[in-house]
Amino acid sequence: MNNPLHKLKILQHLLQSRFRRFHSPEQLRQWQEKQIKSHLTWVCRHSPFYYDYQGWALADFPLMSKAKMMENFNQLNTCGLDREKLFAVACQAEQTRNFSQSQINGITVGLSSGTSGQRGFFGVSKAESLEWAGRMLGRMLPQLRGKHRIALLLRANSPLYQTINQGSVQFYYVDVTQPPSQWLSSLENFRPTVLVGSAQALQLCASQHLSLRPQLVISSAEVLTPSDRKTLAIHFSCPIHEVYQCTEGFLACTHADGILRWNEDMVHVEPYWLTPEKTHYSPIITDFRRRTQPIIRYLLDDVIEAGDDTGVFKPIRSITGRSGDQLHLPAKNTSERLCVLSDLIYRAITP
């Protein structure tokens, strides 16, 4: 990236993400409310889908799902984008593995991995890409000084990721859909300081006994089990962090205190409780930074185990899976069914 204005924007968002401080949950809540009010006003003026919701409080907006978003995408987005055209561009890029072409009218397009059973896609503008890059770097770099070699072990590349390939940050994409024999040696030669990938891809690197010595390993896209974390920590001898990143946004990550927390300076989170004891919930997400494809009260089917510390940003004890992973059993002496969450099953069978 040679545009100095783009570099300046990334730096601005990086510094905001890394150094903006909220001294209490109440201060954060008040700041969030102002951001959300301004965002909803803008979205309702520019999104035909939300036009009739002008002046409404966030709690009164309808719940959104992936199926509903894809069905109403043409009316929901604020740039006059056509769902079929964008989906065709994204599919073409995925089939040809030429991800540099996954753009249309200045909008970067990407497909979701489909781990929830239904593939969706996302569209982000250049401004949103720059903000994502700055905030991601601000949160995830071990330190700001020095050079960083970031290896991303991903199913698909994107111009969105290339946004961070600049200056002291060198980016390397590993296509994990290819046989490991085609990329393991080149990954080793790259000598990443930061290694990012799914738990399975990271475990593969560890099992191959590569001479990788990253300063930081970041797990994303899949559930990171305690046994996975232990294995990776022993092999790589460095901190193991997590990123909760999906088509709905950069939702959460391991913060400076080592705790996985919601990025509440970017997203507002409402819990949809799954247990009477309020131990697990599915998050209802409102991203008050994204405008091209608004994410407003979007109900994810992920299952989150609630944390209980007193930090400013809400903690996540663990991301345990998806709501579809629940085991439903007949309850004794009742027609109702007993719901057992996936992490409870894992803990029961893991030594």
Q: Count Cβ atoms within 10 A of the Cβ of residue 203 and give its class: 0-12 exposed, 13-18 middle, 19 or more buried.
A: middle
List pLDDT tens digits, range 266-304: 999 999 999 889 999 999 999 999 999 999 999 998 999
Alpha-carbon gap, residue 291 to 46, rounded angstroms: 9
Query: Which residues partner with 148 through β-bridges?
Result: 169
H-type alpha helices, 97-225 = 126-140, 159-162, 184-190, 199-207
- Does the pLDDT at position 182 exceed 50? yes
pLDDT at 2: 60
List pLDDT tens digits, range 133-167: 888 888 888 888 888 999 988 876 665 666 665 56
Structure tokens at 277: 């004891």
List pLDDT tens digits, range 214-268: 999 999 878 888 888 999 999 999 999 999 988 788 899 999 888 999 999 999 9
pLDDT at 4: 75
Size of the chain, expressed as the number of residues it contains: 351
DSSP states of 52-76: GGTT--GGGSPPB-HHHHHHTHHHH
